[in-house]
A and B are shown apart, each in its own frame.
Chain A
Amino acid sequence: MFHVVTGSSRSKREVEVTDWQSKTDEEVFLAFRADDASAYRELIERYHDDLLRFLTRMVGDRAAAEDIFQETFLQVHISASTFDTSRRFRPWLFTIAANKARDMLRKKNRRKTVELSAPIRKSEPGSSFIDLLEVDVPAPDEAMDTAERDEMVQRALNQLGPALREVLLLAYFQRLSYAQIAEDIGIPLGTVKSRMHSAVAAFARSWQVVSKESGESVPE
């Protein structure tokens, strides 16, 4: 029987030939360092979705995220010999990616742009505190147009300053502890904590505004 194979899937026999799936990121990286070019393709494919998602959220632009994705792996290639193989590959990769994204945002923010249709937060007294229980967030299985939700999330994230966005994304995408984030970004632990609090509050507020604008029912 003929089976339709999707572009991203791999046949069982192909897996037997390369057998990368049974190997950890660190093992694949070591194979790459030993000049196995197919190992590098494997690493890039492994992180394609996760890293691209992280970068798109970070810089707010898919095309720019793809550029940084390429720059990140180029940097990995250039710095391969400096990587301490006793450490985990994933945090190293994401740290490089976050640094590249930060550089890009820094350049971009020298010339700030803003959409006139972007939500403006009201500044009346009492609005600076957020209670998460009052924020309506859709459950993962809730029926909602994926493209629409993606666009809403991005609009909400774009309302956060780069510093808050970075902490928020590093935490949620990498599930890092406050101490690990502090080490990665090079800021004090207390600052990470307060930034994370502000970031969650700011995102919850932006999400509320964006949802309301998009006709979502948000209980106040």
Chain B
Amino acid sequence: MRNPENQEGSSDSENLNESSEFQLSANDRHAIDQLFEQGLDSKNVNSDRDRGILGLFNLLDTPVAAESQRLSRIDIVRVLASRIEHASNTEDLHLSVQDQQALDEYVNAGYLIDDIPQAHRERAAKCELLGKVITDSQIPEATSLSLVDRTLATIQGHIDQEQNSMAFSESKRGGFSVRWSDLISVAAMLLLVGSIAMPIMSGVRSSSQKGICYDNMHSTANAFGLYAGSNRDMLPMATAGFGSTWMDVGSTPERSNSSNLFTLIRSGLAGLDDLACPSNPNAVTGQADPDAWDWNSLNEISYSYRIMPPGGLRATSIQAPVRVVLLADRSPVILRAAKRQPVIPEENSPNHQHTGQHMLMLDGGAQWATTPIINGQDNIWLPRPLEQIIHEARTRLGIIKGSELPGDLTDAFVGP
């Protein structure tokens, strides 16, 4: 430790702390400053920390006044230093001989108490209890993005950084000079890194987004369960029924099915974040307006909710809840229909690059499916009557049999 006497010449007490081997914690610095401001009056002492500070001044046996603040802080550091040295010097503690033997036997027995001779079992049990005190702690749930997702994002960031660092850099010799051999080496490295990192990079990013989306499904499942529990098993519903349409997002609850889903947010059971898929660039997150009834527009919506029949739907009224989809990644069919484009019935949700969609079933289970067709025939994007029309049209009109010819000379028609 440095001699505090040598530091008295310092003109700034903050510099003293910066240069000291030991440093007061921020809480202690704050407490000391407060005590000084209050004239070190013992009446203002109301915590162990304050008592500790006053105790240290007593140890110093030095009258302390506000004007000698800097000197006193030097002394505090000195006393604290000896305190640290004292407190951290734990190797001078020893177990009793019996405890040492019991501990060794406990470790050598693979931490199994039953395998330890009776004579040492009681002491070994103490060793085990101490271990349990240390290891049996609870890990609180993360409040924001889960640690798993942040870890995946860190790895993603590393991969991105690696790619960026492959760019040309200045030569150590000074000026920027590139030789043909450098170019060839860099090109080879870029090719290698590109071929290795790209699939991993896209895989990790997509996996991370899917993971968050999947967690959203579970959070929303909880919200559905809580809502149903307090509303006689009814599923969220903002209105008794629809008027002419249910796809006019952001208008009125009578014209928008998404306002039914928004009921979970309005009732405080889910947040905007829970219903925002990270793959949707227009998804809104954060605090919802307490007066809001719906999302503002269709492109803000990440998940499609089961169309509610007039009067709503009781969760317990369905015989096979495991087969009924309650929520899914947003429907590509609705997006196309809203733009008045032809729909592709078997198209996957755009949420995950059209690779598939998460589905939350009425029994609360979530799953990933690479096709919107469930139970062998039910297309989740379409009502059954429309599915039947499409099916009949396909059956009646058929598909390409291999015998068709162009309509006329100007008809573009290519084959294998």
Q: Which residues of A contact B (CB under 8 A)?
A: 1-7, 9, 11-14, 17, 35-38, 40-41, 44-45, 48-49, 52-53, 56-57, 62, 66, 69-71, 73-74, 77-78, 111-121, 123, 128-133, 135, 137-140, 146, 149-150, 153, 157, 159-161, 164, 168-169, 171-173, 175, 177-178, 193, 195-205, 207, 213
Contact = CB atoms under 8 A, between A and B. Distances in A.
A114 B93 contact: no
B139 A53 contact: yes
Interface in B35-67: 47-49, 52-53, 56
Contacts of B92: 128
A13 B361 CA distance: 11
Nearest to A206: B90
A137 B126 contact: yes
A44 to B, nearest CB: 5
Interface of B: 21-25, 27-28, 31, 47-49, 52-53, 56, 80, 83-84, 86-96, 99-100, 102-104, 107-108, 110-111, 122-123, 126-127, 129-141, 147-148, 150-152, 154-155, 158, 199-200, 203-204, 206-208, 211, 214-215, 218-219, 221-222, 224-226, 228-229, 233, 315-316, 321, 362-368
Contacts of B104: 178, 193
Contacts of B158: 74, 77-78
B52 A116 contact: yes
B107 A178 contact: yes
B137 A57 contact: yes
Contacts of A53: 135, 137, 139
Contacts, number: 262
Contacts of B90: 159-161, 164, 198-199, 201-202, 205
Given A137-B133, A172-B134, A17 B367 contact: yes
B84 A112 contact: yes
B217 to A, nearest CB: 9
A172 B148 contact: no
B23 A12 contact: no
A62 B25 CA distance: 17
A203 to B, nearest CB: 6
A41 B146 CA distance: 12
B123 A133 contact: yes
Contacts of A172: 131, 134-135
Contacts of B56: 116
Given A2-B321, A197-B100, A44 B152 contact: yes
26 contacts: A1-B363, A2-B316, A4-B222, A5-B221, A11-B366, A14-B214, A41-B152, A44-B148, A53-B139, A70-B147, A114-B22, A116-B53, A128-B94, A129-B93, A129-B95, A130-B95, A133-B122, A135-B126, A138-B133, A153-B134, A159-B88, A175-B111, A193-B104, A197-B99, A201-B90, A201-B93
Contact of B154 (A70, A117, A149): A70
Given A66-B147, A161-B88, A197-B95, A115 B206 contact: no
B91 A161 contact: yes
Nearest to B200: A35
Nearest to A117: B48
A14 B365 contact: yes
Contacts of A213: 48
A contacts with B: majority SS: helix
A171 B129 CA distance: 13
Contacts of A129: 93-96
A179 B318 CA distance: 60
B52 A5 contact: no
B207 A123 contact: no
Given A128-B92, A130-B93, A172-B131, A117 B225 contact: no
A129 B368 CA distance: 60
Given A44-B148, A53-B137, A153-B134, A130 B94 contact: yes
B207 A49 contact: no
A11 B364 contact: yes
Nearest to B134: A172
B155 A115 contact: no
Contacts of B138: 146, 150
Contact of A132 (B127, B135, B152): B127
Contact of B148 (A41, A71, A140, A196): A41
B222 A6 contact: yes
Given A132-B127, A149-B133, A115 B49 contact: yes
Contacts of A202: 90-91, 93
Contacts of B130: 132, 135, 137, 200, 203-204, 207
A59 to B, nearest CB: 14
B358 to A, nearest CB: 10
Contacts of A66: 147, 150
B231 to A, nearest CB: 11
Contacts of A70: 147, 150-151, 154
B135 A40 contact: no
A13 B367 contact: yes
B135 A14 contact: no
Nearest to B129: A137
